[in-house]
Amino acid sequence: MLENLQNMSLTDLKSRSHKILEAIIEAYTESAVPVGSEFLLERYRFGVSPATIRNVMAELEEQGLITHPHTSAGRVPTDRGYRYYVDLLMDLGRLRPDEEAHIEEGIAQASVEEPEELLEQAARLLAELTQEAGVVLVPKLAQGSFRHLELILMDQREIVGVLIASEGLIKHVMLELEEPVQEDELGRLERFLNQELAGMPLGQVHSYLERSLLETTSAFFHLYKRAMDLLSLGPFFQEDPSLILEGTSWIFEAPEFKDIERTRRLLKALERKSELVGILERDLSFDDAKLHIGHENRGTFLTDCTVAAASYRLRGGVTGALGILGPTRMDYPRVTALVGRMARTVTRAFRERE
């Protein structure tokens, strides 16, 4: 990233500050050790005096871009420093050819006919390539459209419902009936729903059945009423988004999480998946990777972490998000390139096999 700093005379004050900030971020990302002025002079050969480097570092600290851990003479980037770097200084990273091939081959091996299998593979690949946690937000079923419903009679008061969306998403629900049902009646109801709801957006099914129940003739009233009673028993169309997490153990190996309080906060965040889901849901309209750095995740237990995420699309335009969860000390150029590439590869895989 900073090869151009070698033997370079820094005369412009702003340029000098930027390059020293970049150098601190690069060095700290690699080592997790606070960065001192002597190390910067030795590694990057800025061509200025040690006093000049120290003065610039003091200015960066005053601006809140780096900070001075009390146990060390070196400096580390702050969340604000990472954000400044990402927005103003960072060049987009490039993946190596072998990494590109690993993504393509890994996604090609997964079945697009089983969307969750492919998405689990994407999360595993992200974790392998970064040694961080790979995360995937599976779209809500309600975003899809009705394809097929199977109703399986277990006994007279218990039914298994299997709902399949046109996008390949599947939902299994166990239903316990208040009144017994016979197998032939259940078969008529299944055929009725598959014909009546074919191709309908799943988010509209409940209101459609309610409206039809009010408007229908007596000949169909019983079927609509039975359908409403049945579907209201289980969360067919209203559900929390599903979250796939792979490689979470790698996060806890990072030096940052030797601190017991940080570890406790991260464990709470992983237990309360809704916080991570909420962050990922913000990125459903973005094709490029977006970064949520440290205290930008305020109000959650993820203030010690960065979430890098981008959206992907299943068949029919149904949208989810995938990305990486790790400490704020992260190789942002590479992670941004990797997440964006994975999202595009997953989208293309679904589109090509549609």
In this structure, what is the dihedral angle of CA atoms 332, 335, 341, 342, given to the nearest 10 degrees? -150
Segment among 91-95, 108-112, 203-207 with least mean pLDDT: 203-207
Please state the separation of Cα 336 from the chain's center in Å: 12
Residue type (1 letter), 3: E
Q: What is the pLDDT of residues 13-30, one digit of tens each?
A: 568 899 999 999 999 999
Q: For 266-290, what is the mean pLDDT?
A: 86
pLDDT band for position 236 (cuts 50, 70, 90): low
Where do we find the tokens 């000949």? 219
> Residue 111: pLDDT above 50?
yes
Quick one: DSSP state of residue 252?
A: T
Q: For 290-312, what is the mean pLDDT?
A: 94
> Residue 334: pLDDT above 90?
yes
* One-character DSSP codes across 107-140: HHHS-TTSHHHHHHHHHHHHHHHHTSEEEEEEPP
Q: What is the model's pLDDT at position 199?
A: 80
Domains of the chain (ranges, CATH numbers) = 3-89 (1.10.10.10), 97-139+241-352 (3.30.450.40), 142-233 (3.30.390.60)
Reduce the DSSP state of residue 5 to 3 states and report it.
helix
Task: Please tell me the pTM assigned to this model.
Answer: 0.76
| Angstrom distance (rounded) from CA 120 to CA 100 | 18
- For the chain, what's the residue count? 354
Reduce the DSSP state of residue 259 to 3 states and report it.
coil
Q: What is the model's pLDDT at position 9?
A: 46
Q: Which of 150, 136, 14 is nearest to 84 (CA)?
A: 14
> Residue 233: pLDDT above 80?
no
Q: What is the model's pLDDT at position 204?
A: 75
| Angstrom distance (rounded) from CA 123 to CA 244 | 7
